Amino acid sequence: MAVSWRSWLANEGVKHLCLFVWLSLNVLLFWKTFLLYNQGPEYHYLHQMLGLGLCLSRASASVLNLNCSLILLPMCRTLLAYLRGSQKVPSRRTRRLLDKSRTFHITCGVTICIFSGVHVAAHLVNALNFSVNYSEDFVELNAARYRDEDPRKLLFTTVPGLTGVCMVLVLFLMITASTYAIRVSNYDIFWYTHNLFFVFYMLLMLHVSGDDWEPYKLRRLYFIWVCRDIQSFRWFADLLCVLHNKFWQENRPDYVNIQLYLSQTDGIQKIIGEKYQALNSRLFIGRPRWKLLFDEIAKCNRGKTVGVFCCGPSSISKTLHKLSNRNNSYGTRFEYNKESFS
């Protein structure tokens, strides 16, 4: 049976056009980043030290950043419901395209998995090359502290390495629980593991900050976590302690400001364990005083742009959104970002 091109374009044209645009963006980002680190004069000595691993790790990181920024959009059900039920999208072809949102979500997820593998493999090679090719002439470029340092130390004692390992574990849980067999047999497992995306994005921000500190000029990261009971903090406490201790050892104690709030308690409680002393001093009873916190951040970042990322109840989201839009006397602009599944 002959295919009618007019019918095919009407039914499949927009979908394939969007797929082509997405694919082109991925290829363009990968190739431009690869060439930058392969031929850019500013990365000459770093490329001499790391070789192809540098190019692949940075190029794959660009693709990962793109898809991590897109993968949540197709699952924003409130937005999709609004677009379908309004006149904002008058074209029936475009409306049908919205029905493919889950497919695009899966496509981005598969791409993230593939390039995560490339990224991890490249960084394993980089860690080895940092150790083997250590040069005292370029100490500031080398993640290793001396020649033939154990590459595992670079992976498990640095912020990019530790957060990268945690991200791989979280991604593995999310992908494994997304298989058809698990979704059919126990949908709750799929649902709860998929909500680990909040942890994944928090780790991603820390990973990028630790990996590219100087180019991005990150001055301070405020990490504010509000929970009802003390048990909720313990599963993430180890990573927070590692980050805190690392920055203190590097004489950068102000780069990460950790504040933990216990909203419901019968008395003063602490996170059990001697190694959690750094967090116990940052554990507060009650709720954050958001307005004072915003004023403090605005004062410390006069005339700059500060990103606000929220994942939590709608009441907190509305409060942070309003405070982000509020004028301040320091010329600081707050950009509000809300990440959640509806």
Together in a domain, 225 and 153:
no
Query: Quick check: helix, strand or coil at residue 322?
Result: helix
Can you tell me the mean pLDDT for 60-74? 90
Query: Quick check: helix, strand or coil at residue 313?
Result: coil
Per-residue pLDDT band for 32 (boundaries 50, 70, 90) equals very high
Calculate Rg over the CA atoms of the chain.
23
Can you tell me the mean pLDDT for 104-121? 92
Domain termination site, one of 103, 138, 157: 157
Together in a domain, 229 and 140:
no
- Say yes or no to pLDDT of 60 above 90: yes
Can you tell me the mean pLDDT for 122-145? 81
Together in a domain, 153 and 226:
no
Together in a domain, 153 and 34:
yes
Together in a domain, 248 and 144:
no
Phi and psi (nearest 5°) for 166? -65, -40
Determine the Cα–Cα distance for residues 129 and 142; give it in Å rounded to an integer.
10
Query: What pLDDT sits at residue 27?
Result: 96
Domain termination site, one of 102, 122, 157: 157
Beta bridge partners of 224: 259
Query: What pLDDT sits at residue 81?
Result: 67
Query: Quick check: helix, strand or coil at residue 304?
Result: coil
Q: What is the pLDDT of residues 247-258, one digit of tens each?
A: 777 666 667 888
* Structural domain includes residue 175: no
- pTM, entire model: 0.60
* Structural domain includes residue 194: no
Assigned token pair, 102: 């889950």
Can you tell me the mean pLDDT for 199-217? 72
**CB crowding 82-108: b at 16 or more within 10 Å, else e:** ebeeeeeeeeeeeeebeeebeebbebb
* Structural domain includes residue 204: no
- Say yes or no to pLDDT of 190 above 50: yes
- Say yes or no to pLDDT of 25 above 90: yes
Percentage above 90 pLDDT, the chain: 20
Query: What pLDDT sits at residue 8?
Result: 53
Phi and psi (nearest 5°) for 223? -110, 110
Together in a domain, 122 and 264:
no
Q: What is the DSSP string of 120-173?
A: HHHHHHHHHHHHHT--GGGGGG-SSSSTT--HHHHHHSSHHHHHHHHHHHHHHH
Assigned token pair, 188: 């709750």
* Residue 258: domain span: 221-338
Which residue did the predictor score with more confidence, 90 or 75? 75
* Structural domain includes residue 110: yes
CATH number at residue 286: 3.40.50.80
Determine the Cα–Cα distance for residues 167 and 197; give it in Å rounded to an integer.
10
C-beta pairs of 65-68 under 8 Å, 24+ apart in sequence = 65/208, 66/25, 66/26, 66/29, 67/26, 67/108, 67/111, 67/112, 67/115, 68/112, 68/201, 68/204
* Structural domain includes residue 196: no
Together in a domain, 102 and 29:
yes
* Structural domain includes residue 210: no
Q: What is the pLDDT of residues 316-330, one digit of tens each?
A: 888 999 999 998 888
Together in a domain, 112 and 38:
yes
- Say yes or no to pLDDT of 123 above 70: yes
Burial grade of 112 (CB within 10 A; 0-12, 13-18, 19 or more): buried
CB 130 within 8 A of CB 154: yes
Together in a domain, 18 and 120:
yes
Together in a domain, 153 and 225:
no
- Say yes or no to pLDDT of 122 above 90: yes
Left if phi > 0, otherwise alpha if psi is -120 to 50, otherwise beta: which for 117? Answer: alpha
Domain termination site, one of 141, 157, 173: 157
Total residue length of the chain? 342
Query: What pLDDT sits at residue 243?
Result: 77
Q: What is the pLDDT of residues 137-172, one digit of tens each?
A: 666 677 778 788 888 887 888 888 888 999 999 999
Which residue did the predictor score with more confidence, 120 or 309? 120
Greatest mean pLDDT among 84-88, 201-205, 248-252: 201-205
Together in a domain, 47 and 144:
yes
* Structural domain includes residue 22: yes
Assigned token pair, 38: 């392969």
CB 64 within 8 A of CB 24: no
Together in a domain, 16 and 145:
yes
C-beta pairs of 76-84 under 8 Å, 24+ apart in sequence = 76/341, 76/342, 77/341, 77/342, 78/342
Burial grade of 222 (CB within 10 A; 0-12, 13-18, 19 or more): middle
* Structural domain includes residue 295: yes
- CB neighbour list of residue 226: distance below 8 Å, 6 or more residues apart: 261, 263, 287, 288, 312, 316
The total domain count for the chain is: 2
